[in-house]
Amino acid sequence: METIPYVNRTEIGSDFIMEIYLDSANARIRVDDYRGNVSSIAARIRELAQEHGATKVFIKTRVEDVSNLLAHGYMMEGIFKAYFNGSDAYSMALYFSEERRTSEHWMEEDDILQAVLKIEDDRPLPVLPEGYSIRVAKLQDAGKLADLYRKVFPVYPTPMDQADYVQKVMEEGTVFEVIEWNGEIVSAASAEINQTYHNAELTDCATLPEHRKHGLMKILIHALEHELIQRQIFCHYSLARALSFGMNAVFRHLGYTYAGRLTKNCNIFDKLEDMNLWVKPIGR
């Protein structure tokens, strides 16, 4: 039987309900929402992980459930500030293999993080160079966006190199900002909006190598923040590759706060990588 790489599913038990994301491409299960008996939820998650061969589970949980999940073997990896309509979410992880739990680059990532944290976070925003233009992407840009992600990322956690997938996430409400040069999309980023809890993940950041000297990503993220505020979405966050000085520096420059590191969270570039969590709840 062919394995489907991404499946959103509702799990219903006698005393709980939860929304999960079965992510075989990254050998993980993500719990997107839940309510009910946390112990029953934890037991069902273990069954699902064994059934689907997941080596990592992570769940954004409320503060009142942290101690219960700790008792079930979970560990805290980060805090999503203001995630639940202003209340914090705690990223709790459970691992099912020593290899997945162990990071070979942790100390190198610490060195990168310390260098990033020394950067002043109030630098002026770069000016869009002559010949470049910025706009909100349209559905008909899906093919061009897929081409961009295919060129930038040999491996990516989601199938952004497929035009139909890009179009699907746009139709579901994800907003893309793009920068063009000579009619070509050379840089892009998106905001994946959670309309239930009024937050947004800034993600899918990509710039062609030959255009990376202009600070285009800072301009894109700033534009997305403005768009989100217009939509009354005030909790912004992002996950950046812990080995990437550049992307972590972008969020530091724009006033985001480092809030944790998720070990071997997803396949990106050429391996499972640790991801740094950056948060920016407006007004907090």
The Cβ-side half-sphere exposure at 117, using a 13 Å CA radius, reads 12
Listed residues 61, 85, 101: the one ending a domain: 101
Q: Is 209 found in the same domain as 188? A: yes
* Residue numbers of the domain that contains 64: 6-101
Cα angle 193, 197, 201; round to 5: 35
Residue 1 resides in a domain: no
pLDDT values of the chain reduced to their tens digit, one per residue, 284 residues: 345 667 899 999 999 999 999 999 899 999 999 999 999 999 999 999 999 999 999 999 999 999 999 999 999 999 999 999 999 999 999 999 999 999 999 999 999 999 999 998 767 889 999 999 999 999 999 999 999 999 999 888 889 999 999 999 999 999 999 999 999 999 999 999 999 999 999 999 999 999 999 999 999 999 999 999 999 999 999 999 999 999 999 999 999 999 999 999 999 877 899 999 999 998 76
Q: Is 125 found in the same domain as 43? A: no
For residue 270 the two structure tokens come to: 């050429």
Listed residues 38, 73, 101: the one ending a domain: 101
Q: Read off the CATH number of the domain in which 262 is found.
A: 3.40.630.30
pTM for the structure as a whole: 0.94
Residue 77 resides in a domain: yes
Non-local CB neighbours of 103 within 8 Å, separated by 6+ positions:
109, 263, 264, 274
Q: Is 261 found in the same domain as 126? A: yes
Q: Is 122 found in the same domain as 54? A: no
The 3-state secondary structure of the chain, one letter per residue? CCCCCEEEEEEECCCEEEEEEEEHHHCEEEEEEEEECHHHHHHHHHHHHHHHCCCEEEEEECHHHHHHHHHCCCEEEEEEEEEECCEEEEEEEEECCHHHHCCCCHHHHHHHHHHHHCCCCCCCCCCCCCCEEEEECCHHHHHHHHHHHHHHCCCCCCCCCCHHHHHHHHHCCCEEEEEEECCEEEEEEEEEEECCCCEEEEEEEEECHHHHHHCHHHHHHHHHHHHHHHCCCCEEEEEEECCCHHHHHHHHHCCCEEEEEEEEEEEECCEEEEEEEEEEECCC
Q: Is 135 found in the same domain as 23? A: no
Residue 132 resides in a domain: yes
Give bridge partners of residue 10 from the DSSP assignment.
19
Q: Is 142 found in the same domain as 92? A: no
Listed residues 101, 130, 152: the one ending a domain: 101
Q: Is 132 found in the same domain as 86? A: no
Q: Is 148 found in the same domain as 236? A: yes
Q: Is 240 found in the same domain as 142? A: yes
- Structure confidence by residue, pLDDT tens digits, 8-40: 999 999 999 999 999 998 999 999 999 999 999
d(CA 230, CA 131): 27
Residue 229 resides in a domain: yes
Q: Is 47 found in the same domain as 181? A: no
**Torsional sign, CA 17, 170, 197, 49:** positive
Q: Is 28 found in the same domain as 118? A: no
d(CA 42, CA 7): 19
Q: How many domains does the chain have?
A: 2
- Structure confidence by residue, pLDDT tens digits, 138-165: 999 999 999 999 999 988 888 999 999 9
